[in-house]
A and B are shown apart, each in its own frame.
Chain A
């Protein structure tokens, strides 16, 4: 008998004892005998022998990701090469492979170029503003006392937690021509600052891309600077205080401290934040959808709205919508390569 009394396992406490103990546990279940090579293989020992445990653990998650993320991405690519309209959705006509014709249709559509321009400019402005505001608030949080920092970061978290639809509706209300406070404030602004009565009925949402995306810019920066601020704050906490002390002894001012210490130390974090912001800000659907009036204004579409409207308009053009979605995805994937490389450089895959 290779059975080890439990008391002995407790007192011996070395690896040898555990090995024997666990082996004995399995032999007990099967036929008694040394090693029991022909014992009835239990599921547990099979998993252990073939080192299957990690695979079994990731399979459920992998299945979920494959179902809602990977397979649909492949499908977007397939649909973009097909003529897939109403008849194909209903199933009366099979989809036809049409090569790149969806892409040529899209790339020759002036609406595509307008929405691409809106998307790129909007994303660029958003990334710059979010990073600047977020970094400044992060620096501020780092210098505030404990209570004050909790208060300010609490306010920032409230902004972050506010659902996009609710926030969009509130910002539209700010800029509403009937009773919104922005128009009210602008009409009461002195004339030399650009104020005046002509603002009273100014319609921000539907006059054109610039006013509509002004609302969207304020909204998205408001909602996304907290993430940048909290992340920058975490990075700042990891910088040793001695660095700043010795810099101050050497007579460095606040700006020099930032440029010579903070920025280089936080560079990896900034890089990841910029990449994440680019990816998020390229892809603003909900806020644009609500602000520009639920697909009502074609001249205010960004790529996300344009793709959506092509695919779900009447009659639906799934092929065209997929082609635009694929173009957007490829742009984002190129940026993602940068993101993954930044992560690898930081050793996040270890």
Chain B
């Protein structure tokens, strides 16, 4: 009975209402300030990366660093894009193309296979269903870099080592457990009655899938492909171990190689990192709302 002063007899109502409103305004201002600080601290590494990428060498190694380039230059970017900077004799687009190719193929493959499996798990009761689900959980936990040793030898005997196809298969496979796990909740939320009604109208399984299930599961597919995209675009250990010819390097390997050979030429390295970071961040911001909704629906139940 302490926290409700406005209905206490004797206290002037208007005064306390105004006080509580002022209290609310200050609290909101304080919260917003904290919010801005959190956002800025979080964005700081990204902003610093971009700012360094636009700085000429004299400013990068200056004794008093400035947050914003005084003499902004695009030289770092041109050096990276025309391939002078890393000394590999290959332009940035080679690595970009490799990364895009591997990522897009892996995402499409993983989404398709996981949608099929998700339908099976969400729509049918079958004998090995629970074992399959537990297997998905357990398999997610196997550390990727433990698998790099046997997969290196397997891929060696399959002649897939220095090939982008090998990476596509690998990345799709690595993304499958999480994708199935997330998608199955989306499939489960599609009302069965809709499908039954369509069947009643004479629609075959394929038609029901494309016309009913697919549009309704679409947000889930967006979430799943975003995760698969991040996994594939990010992946480092396997690409590092498997790819031997430089023309097959994906972007993370290129940036890592550049960094190790670059002798601290931070301007071009930051330019390359910036270019490497743009696609996933752009992708994420575009799907942000769906993404958060999708992840939440998939991972947190109740």
Contact of A58 with B236 in the complex, beta carbons under 8 Å? no
Task: Name the residue on A nearest B28 (C-beta).
Answer: A145
One of A22, A60, A222 near B113 (C-beta < 8 A) = A60
Chain A proximity mask over B248-274: 1 for CB below 8 Å, otherwise 0:
000110011001100010100110011
Smallest distance from the beta carbon of A149 to chain B beta carbons, Å?
Answer: 8
Number of interface residues of B (CB under 8 A): 108
A256 on the B face (CB < 8 A)? no
Residues in A whose Cβ lies below 8 Å from that of B215: none
Are A248 and B3 in contact, CB atoms less than 8 angstroms apart?
yes
- Which interface class (under 10, 10 to 19, 20 to 34, 35 or more) fits A? 35 or more
Given A162-B277, A178-B264, do A285 and B113 touch, yes or no (CB 8 Å)? no
**What residues of chain A lie closer than 8 Å to B300, measured between beta carbons?**
231, 234-235, 238, 269
In the complex, chain B residues whose CB is within 8 Å of the CB of A22:
199
Which residues 298-350 of A have a CB within 8 angstroms of B? 304, 307-308, 311-312, 318, 321-322, 325-326, 328-329, 332-333, 335-336, 339-340, 343, 346-349
User: Do A61 and B113 contact each other (CB < 8 Å), given the known contacts A148-B35, A155-B38, A164-B236?
Assistant: yes
Given the known interface contacts A174-B48, A251-B3, A318-B153, the answer about A326 and B146 at a Cβ–Cβ threshold of 8 Å is yes
Contacts of A13 in B (CB 8 A): 200
Bound complex: CA A280 to CA B219 (Å):
26
- A312-B241, A340-B138 known; A158 vs B42 contact (CB < 8 Å): yes
A179 touches B276 (CB 8 A): no
Write out, one digit per residue, whether chain A residues 156-181 have a CB within 8 A of any chain B CB (1) or not (0).
11111111111101111110101101
A residues apposed to B, CB below 8 Å: 6, 9-10, 13, 17-18, 21-22, 51, 53-55, 57-58, 60-62, 64-65, 67-73, 75-76, 79, 89, 137, 140, 143-145, 148-149, 151-167, 169-174, 176, 178-179, 181, 184, 222, 226, 230-231, 234-235, 238, 248-251, 269, 279, 282-283, 285-286, 289-290, 294, 304, 307-308, 311-312, 318, 321-322, 325-326, 328-329, 332-333, 335-336, 339-340, 343, 346-349
Residues of chain B having any CB pair with chain A under 8 Å = 1-4, 28, 31-32, 34-36, 38-40, 42-43, 45-46, 48-49, 52, 60-65, 113-114, 116-117, 119-121, 123-124, 126, 129-130, 132-139, 141-154, 156, 169-170, 172-174, 176-177, 180, 196, 199-202, 230, 233-234, 236-237, 241, 251-252, 255-256, 259-260, 264, 266, 269-270, 273-274, 276-277, 280-281, 283-285, 288, 291-292, 295-296, 299-302
